Amino acid sequence: MTDTQYDRAPGDALALPDVEQGTSSGVLVYTIGLALAVVLTAMSFWVANTSLLWVGGVSLGLTVLAIAQMGIHLVFFLHVTTGPDNTNNVMALAFGVLIVILVVVGSLLIMADLNDNMMPSAELMNLHMQH
Amino acid sequence: MNIALAVDDEVRHEAALPSASEAGPATKRVVVGYGFWIFLLSDIVMFSAFFAAYAVLAHATAGGPSGVQLFNQRSVAIETACLLASSYTCGLMSIAIGSRRYAATYWAALITFVLGAAFLVLELREFAGMIAIGAGPQRSAFLSAFFTLVGCHGLHVTAGLVWLTVMMAQVAIKGFRATVERRLLCFSLFWHALDIVWVWLFTVVYLMGVVS
């Protein structure tokens, strides 16, 4: 019962002509997104294979390119905008990004720290061997 | 004076545009889309755990082959192109759905499916090649993490292909009903999110693996 009420909601009906009038501009948006993504992907592969850049900075450069490409996908393919109708989506996305960063950076930091601290020194290893 | 004017302007502006809660309950399309968005974010959080495991274990090769020896950049580039192009055709499909064009929807879905399937074939060939030379998931912690992470993404793509087939059958039988349209909206969100995961995959696994 509630379903039919929601289906006829004025917002849904209003949204449809909006989509229809935007067919050609919609294609343009996806095409721009595709072009930018192709450029960024090509740059990523170039950065990974070139010898022109300082090796230490390559990983950082690749990360930056991946973040940029993620932004392109979000804006041009997933249509995440800063508009008021998108506030909920953006807040959920921000929370997701926070958790992802906590998981990845936290794991890397903790494991690197463990590797540094738990690695037995040479004398300790020898002591173990003698027993 | 200017400040007073600006405030006055803002008040009038706010009165003209009611906030989301004043506009009444959101449409079902909005609610469904938002729910699926939450699911996708939780899925991405799961992927982040696999990414973290891979990043920690990337150098734990246990004397076995490392990424530099195993990864073929040419095939990764083709896989990336397939997935990116299929994301684009998936976008074209949503536009065709919005304007209720059956033929355009079927064609865009077909191209999306073929590109996704090509991606899967390339990935499975890569996996088969690695297992054939003894670099299977049981060889080292690095390879376990690699197969889990990349395989999980591959499973998602497989599920997406099945979903796309089912959706096209629904469009053929039921037409562009509101329920079918909402499912198609969720599918396109899913497919684009998979492409975002792949961006991180080829960056972290393949390109950084080749660098270090």
Instruction: Identify whether the C-beta of residue B98 lies closer than 8 Å to the C-beta of residue A26.
Output: yes
Q: Are residues A96 and A40 in the same domain?
A: no
Q: Are residues A39 and A89 in the same domain?
A: no
Checking if the pLDDT of B7 tops 60, the result is: no
Q: Are residues A1 and A47 in the same domain?
A: yes
Q: Are residues A22 and A73 in the same domain?
A: yes
Q: What is the pLDDT of residues B131-158, one digit of tens each?
A: 999 999 999 999 999 999 999 999 999 9
Q: Are residues A106 and A67 in the same domain?
A: no
Q: How many CB atoms lie within 10 A of CB B62?
A: 9
Q: Are residues A1 and A30 in the same domain?
A: yes
* B-contacting residues in A 69-128 (Cβ below 8 Å): 69-70, 73-74, 77-78, 84-85, 87-89, 92-93, 95-96, 99-100, 103-104, 106-108, 111
Q: Are residues A54 and A106 in the same domain?
A: no
Q: What is the pLDDT of residues B159-210, one digit of tens each?
A: 999 999 999 999 999 999 999 999 999 999 999 999 999 999 999 999 988 8
The domain defined by B29-211 folds into: Four Helix Bundle (Hemerythrin (Met), subunit A) (1.20.120)
The residue among A47, A63, A79 that closes a domain is A79
Q: Are residues A105 and A62 in the same domain?
A: no
**Domains identified in chain A, total number:** 2
Determine the structural domain holding residue A99 and report its residue range.
Answer: 84-131
Q: What is the pLDDT of residues A49-67, one digit of tens each?
A: 888 888 888 989 999 999 9
Return the pLDDT at A50.
84
What residue segments make up the domains of chain B, in order of their start? 29-211
Work out the pLDDT band at A1, boundaries 50, 70, 90: very low
CB contact under 8 A, B211 and A70: no
A41 CB within 8 Å of a chain B CB: yes
Alpha carbons B138 and B145: distance in angstroms, whole number: 10
Q: What is the CA radius of gyration of chain A?
A: 25
Q: Are residues A21 and A74 in the same domain?
A: yes
Per the confidence metrics, is the pTM higher than 0.90?
no
B77 CB within 8 Å of a chain A CB: yes
ipTM: 0.83
Work out the pLDDT band at A83, boundaries 50, 70, 90: confident
